[in-house]
Amino acid sequence: MSDTRITSPTFADVTRDVARTLEPPGNLYFSWMSVVALILTAGILAWAGQVWWGMGMAGKRVPQMWAMYITSFVFWIGIGHAGTLISAILYLFRARWRTSIYRAAEAMTIFAVMTAGLFPLIHAGRMWFAYYLLPYPNQRSLWPNFRSPLVWDVFAISTYLSISTVFFIVGLIPDIAALRDVSSGWRRRIYAMLALGWEGADSQWRHYRRAYGLLASLATPLVLSVHSVVSWDFAMALVPGWHSTLFAPFFVDGAIFSGFAMVLILILPMRHFFGLHAYIQEKHLDAMGKLILVTGLLLTYFYVCEIFTSLYSGDDIEKASLFWKVTKTYAWALWLMYFCNCVSPLILFSKRARTSPSVLYVVSILVLIGMWFERFNIIVPSLGHDFYPYTWGIYYPSPTDTMIVVGSFAWFFLLFLGFIRVMPSLSVVEVKETLPPPMRDKTHAGHR
């Protein structure tokens, strides 16, 4: 739909349109939920099988012990980044186009981190010992090794989840109050409880704005820190293909890249099915397309630097590792990654492509495929071909770990599909702030 035909909504339209998304859903919604729940069930069954019969079910053998689970862990952590970037950094930079999409992006962040958090537990095998990761005093002095980046991960990710959740909840308060005012019955009681007594008083707004700005400032460094720490899980080791100074910014950029793609995967159907064209306009799609293009180009820059460093280093092992990745067993995965991450976003140089939902959707899917394979290419081929030939090995996915990874997508989408039916997926307050205020006398509306 062309934006020129869309009339600017009024304050009442915004509240009504958002409230409409929370009405009892139709059959289409339940069909999707059923499909997603079915896939999730298959994933849970596969996981139960792995717990019962052991990690061999997941194809985990030396040297490929990390394989698909850590690939997916890094992938999902990365997905969460765009939410924080959109909600915090773009807020601080006063990029007002974020208003229509940031709520969905924030929810995505939390659900993505929750999904990522499953994988260390699944990968531990005996997940009832996962608490060993936490620094707790105990009589056996089993303190975690603080010099291990894996422990840094625990702190980085738990901080990220905490700040993102608080940020998300604080941002929801005025919107929940708006929903409370237009709902009735048990819904009204629940919304009233969650709105924490919000009345929209001046003093409440003052405190709200201060808290929101403070949380945005706290969340901003996390965009850099979390994925940097995740990247150091690899870069600190001396494994060829891992030990690289590039990794921290390279991971952060890739995370933002994939996160934006996932935001589009989520908001484009929302826009279509909820009829939110007046709020998620072509200019929003255009801006998102530009960000995907820029982060994709930066990623290409990092890929080139990575290859350059391997060749420039003069290190035979590094060069052999690169050669193996480019030409041998997993070469298809590497070239697929280059196509998806470097070539496919180039179409977004065209404004027509950036404002076409179908093109954006296809590019976003390709980007997600490419970014999952980027993590696969870092983990699997590097571990499979390091210093000594006797430690080399090939990894083949098993039905169990494949089903668990597919199930993680179902888990993520189940959470998101649930969210959009119980909470406002569009920020009522911030969207209203971007609209002209209502005037008693419309003849003066042009003289604001």
Partner 1 sequence: MTIFWSLVAAAGAVAFLGGARSDDARAVWSIYLVNLVFWSGLAVTGPAIAAMMQLTEARWSPSVRRIALTTAGFLPAAFVLFLVLVAGQTTLYPWVTTPVVAKQAWLNAPFFWLRTIAGAAALFGTALGLVRALVRDAVPPDDAGERARRNRLAVALLFLWVIGVSLWGFDLVMSLDPAWYSGLFGGYFVVSTLYIGFCLLSLLTIRANARGQASIPPAAVQDVAKLQFAMSIMWMYFFWSQYLVIWYGNVPVETRFFVTRFFTQPWLTLAWLVFVVGWLIPFAYLLKRLTGRPPQRHAPLVVISVFGLVAIFLERVLVVFPSVTPSARLPFGARDLAITAGFLALFVLSRRWFFSQFKPVINLPHTGH
Q: At what angle do helices 67-79 and 102-124 cross, to 10 degrees?
A: 160
3-state secondary structure of 432: helix
If one asks whether residue 249 binds partner 1 (CB under 8 A), the answer comes out as: yes
| Cβ neighbour number for residue 88 with a 10 Å cutoff | 27
243 binds partner 1 (CB under 8 A): yes
Q: What whole-number distance in Å separates Cα of residue 216 and Cα of residue 168? A: 10
CB of 446 to partner 1, least distance (A): 18
The rounded distance, in Å, linking the Cα atoms of 209 and 6 is: 31
Calculate the alpha carbon distances from 112 to 101, 221, 274 in Å. 16, 19, 23
Nearer to partner 1, 312 or 392 (CB): 312
393 binds partner 1 (CB under 8 A): no
Of these, 247, 279, 372, 419, which contacts partner 1 (CB under 8 A)?
Answer: 247
244 binds partner 1 (CB under 8 A): yes
Least gap, CB of 234 to partner 1 (angstroms)? 10
Nearer to partner 1, 6 or 224 (CB): 224
The one-letter code for the residue type at 93 is: F
Q: How far is the CB of 245 from partner 1 (least distance, A)?
A: 4
Choose the stretch contacting partner 1; rule: CB under 8 A; options: 36-44, 48-56, 160-168, 307-315. Answer: 307-315
Among 104, 113, 176, 235, binds partner 1 (CB under 8 A): 235
Sign of CA dihedral 110, 115, 120, 124: positive
For 199, other C-beta atoms within 10 Å of its C-beta total 8
- Segment interacting with partner 1, rule: CB under 8 A, options 75-83, 302-310, 357-365, 436-444: 302-310
Site for partner 1 in 309-328 (CB under 8 A): 309, 311-314
# of chain residues touching partner 1 (CB under 8 A)? 26
Q: Are 230 and 375 in contact (CB under 8 A)?
A: no
Candidates 8, 26, 94, 199: give the one binding partner 1 (CB under 8 A). 94
**Cβ-count burial 120-157 (b if 16+ within 10 Å, e if not):** bbbbeeeeeeeeebeeeeeeeeeeeeeeebebbbbebb
Output the smallest distance, CB 423 to partner 1, in A. 31
Closest CA to 82 of 215, 174, 219: 219
User: Considering beta carbons, is residue 234 or 274 the nearer one to partner 1?
Assistant: 234
Which residues, numbered 194-233, are part of the site for partner 1 (CB under 8 A)?
221, 224, 228, 232
Q: Which of 10, 31, 162, 245 binds partner 1 (CB under 8 A)?
A: 245
Q: Which is nearer to partner 1, 167 or 395 (CB)?
A: 167
Q: Is 84 in the site for partner 1 (CB under 8 A)?
A: no
Q: Name the nearest CA neighbour of 31 among 271, 268, 273.
A: 273
387 sits near partner 1 (criterion: CB under 8 A): no
**DSSP assignment string, 98-154:** GGGTHHHHHHHHHHHHHHHHHHHHHHHSSGGGGGGGS----TT-----TTSHHHHHH
Residues near partner 1 (CB under 8 A) are 93-94, 221, 224, 228, 232, 235-236, 238, 243-249, 301-302, 305-306, 308-309, 311-314
